[in-house]
Amino acid sequence: MDDDRIDFSALDPTRDQARFDGLVGSIVDQAADELDRRRVSNSPLNLLVQWRRPMLAAAAVIAIVSVGVLLRVDTVNNADYAAETAGIAEAIGVPTLLAQGVRQNDMPTTAELFDAFQEIQ
Amino acid sequence: MTEVVGGISDASLVARVRRGHKASFEALVRRHYRAAYSVALAILENGMDAEDVCQDAFVKALERLDDCRDPEKFVAWLMQIVRNRARNFWDYRRVRTAQPLDFVNVASSLRPDRDAERSELRGALEEAIGQLSEVQREVVLLHDLEGWKHREIGESLGLSEGAARQHLFAARKKLRELLGAEALKEQSNG
C-alpha cells in the first residue's frame, strides 16, 4: 500500500532546510520567556523556597503529634511504675499501710507507724 | 507513539523541557513539526495558516506542559492541542502574536523559478486535499507526508486501524482523480 503513497513533498515544511530552521527558530524565540520562567522556578534556591511552607507545616504537625505521644507515654509509665513499686514493697515485706503512704506521699501518723511495726512482728 | 530518536525519548525531552531546557524544546519541535503541520493543514487547508497554528500550538503546549500527564504519549497530547488551536484559528487570529515570517520571502527570492513552480504545486495539492473530508485529509497527510503507521493514526484520531486504512485508500483515490496520475508523477520528480 505504501507504493501508492502520494508525493506531498511540495507541502513538506521541512523540505527547505533553511526555511524550516527559520520556522523552528521562530517558535523557540516565542517560547523563550516560558523556558526562562521554568528554568528559574526549577533553580535549587527556588525549589527550597517553594518547599519551605509545606516543610514548616509538616514539622508543626510532627511536633504536635510527638508532644501528644510523649505526654501519653509519660502518664502510662507513671501509672505502671506506681503499680510496680507497690507490688515490690509488699513483696519485700513492707507493710501495705506504709507502702501506700509512700506512694501517696503521705506521712503516716505515729499510731499508724506503731500499728505497722506491730504487723511486722 | 512513543518516539525514541537519537537515544532520547519524548518523555525524557519533556522532563527536560519542564525544567526549561531550550535545546530539548527545540528537539521536540523539530521531531514533531511535520506531524503538527499535517494536522493543522488538514483542518485549515492552507499552508501558511497551518504554519501559524503550529507555531502557536507548540508555544501553548510548552505553557501547558505540566498538564501532559503521560509524557510517553506526548505526541497524541500535542496533536490534540494542534487540532483545538486550528479549529479556533479564526477566533484566535486577532490576538496571535506570531512573528511575520519575513525570512520565508528572503529564502524564496533566491530561486524564483523553482519557488514559483513549487508554489503552483502547493496550490494544486492544497486545492485537491480541500476536496477531501477532514478525517481523510488528516489520515493521508499523516501517513504520506509524515510517515505515521495506520495504528498511530488510528490512536491519534480515535479510529480503528482498519478505518484509518479505509480513509487513506479513499483519500488517495480521490486525490488521483482530482490531480491526475500525471500531476502526481510530476510532483514526485520535482
Domain match, B6 and B78 both: yes
Please list every residue in chain B whose beta carbon sits closer than 8 Å to the beta carbon of residue A4.
Answer: 172
Per the domain annotation, does B105 fall within a domain?
no
pLDDT value for B105 = 43
Q: What is the mean pLDDT of chain B?
A: 83
**Do B117 and B156 belong to one domain?**
yes
Enumerate the residues of chain A whose CB falls inside 8 A of the CB of residue B169.
Answer: 1
Question: B136 and B64 share a domain?
Answer: no
- Percent of chain B residues past pLDDT 70, beyond the cut: 76
pTM of the model: 0.66
Which structural domain range is residue A40 located in? 2-120
Q: What is the rounded CA–CA span in Å between residue B55 and residue B101? A: 11
| B115 and B164 housed in the same domain | yes
pLDDT in tens, A70-119: 877 767 666 666 666 667 777 777 777 777 777 777 777 788 777 777 76
The highest-confidence range among A17-26, A89-98, B2-11, B99-108, by mean pLDDT, is: A17-26
The C-alpha angle B12, B13, B19, rounded to 5 degrees, equals: 100
Of A60-64, B47-51, B111-115, which gets the smallest average pLDDT?
A: B111-115
Q: Residue B93: which CATH number?
A: 1.10.1740.10
Query: What is the pLDDT, as a whole number, of residue A42?
Result: 78
Domain count, chain A: 1
Residue B108: the pLDDT is: 44
Most confident of A11-15, A20-24, B7-11, B104-108: A20-24
Residue B130 pLDDT exceeds 60: yes
Give the residue from chain B lying closest to A16, CA to CA. Answer: B107
Mean pLDDT of B163-190: 77
CB atoms within 10 A of CB B125: 24
The pLDDT assigned to B96 comes to 53
Same domain, B123 and B173: yes
In a domain, B51, yes or no: yes
Helix (H, G, I), strand (E, B) or coil at A97: helix
DSSP state of A43: S
Last residue of a domain, one of B99, B128, B148: B99
**B34 found inside a domain:** yes
Query: Per-residue confidence at A26, pLDDT binned at 50, 70, 90?
Result: very high
Residue of chain B with shortest Cα separation from A30: B59
Pairing relationship of beta strands B8-9 and B4-5 according to DSSP bridges: antiparallel
Number of domains in chain B: 2
Are B123 and B80 within one domain? Answer: no
Contact A10 B25 (CB under 8 A): no
Grid cell digits, residue A67: 508532644
Q: What is the pLDDT of residue A108?
A: 72
Q: Nearest CB to A10: which of B104, B140, B190?
A: B190
Give me the DSSP letters along chain B: ---EETTEEHHHHHHHHHTT-HHHHHHHHHHHHHHHHHHHHHHH--HHHHHHHHHHHHHHHHHTGGG-S-GGGHHHHHHHHHHHHHHTHHHHGGG--PPP-HHHHHHHTTSHHHHHHHHHHHHHHHHHHTTS-HHHHHHHHIIIII---HHHHHHHHT--HHHHHHHHHHHHHHHHHHHHHHHHHHHHH-
Query: Which is nearest to A27 in space by CA: B35, B48, B19, B54?
Result: B54
Asked if residue B89 and residue B3 are part of one domain, the reply reads yes
Judged by CB atoms closer than 8 Å, whether chains meet at A1 and B21 is answered as: no
Question: Which of A79-93, B94-108, B159-173 tops mean pLDDT?
Answer: B159-173
Cα torsion for B69, B72, B78, B81, to the nearest 10°? -30
Q: What CATH number should be reported for the domain holding residue B116?
A: 1.10.10.10
pLDDT band with cut points at 50, 70 and 90 for residue B126: confident
Do B74 and B116 reside in the same domain of the chain?
no
**Domain that includes residue B165, residue range:** 110-190
Task: Measure CA B151 to chain center.
Answer: 17
Find the closest chain B residue to A2 by CA distance.
Answer: B144
Nearest chain A residue to B54 by CA: give it.
Answer: A27
Q: What is the mean pLDDT of chain A?
A: 80
Instruction: Round to whole Å and give the CA distance between B168 and B139.
Output: 6
> Does B90 share its domain with B119?
no
Residue B190 within any structural domain of the chain = yes
Output B135 or A75, whichever has higher pLDDT. B135
Let me know: does B20 contact A39? Beta carbons within 8 Å.
yes
Contact A14 B34 (CB under 8 A): yes
Residues B83 and B135 in one domain: no
In a domain, residue B55? The reply is yes
**CB-CB under 8 Å, B19 with A13:** no
Q: From CA B171, how far away is CA B174, in angstroms rounded?
A: 5
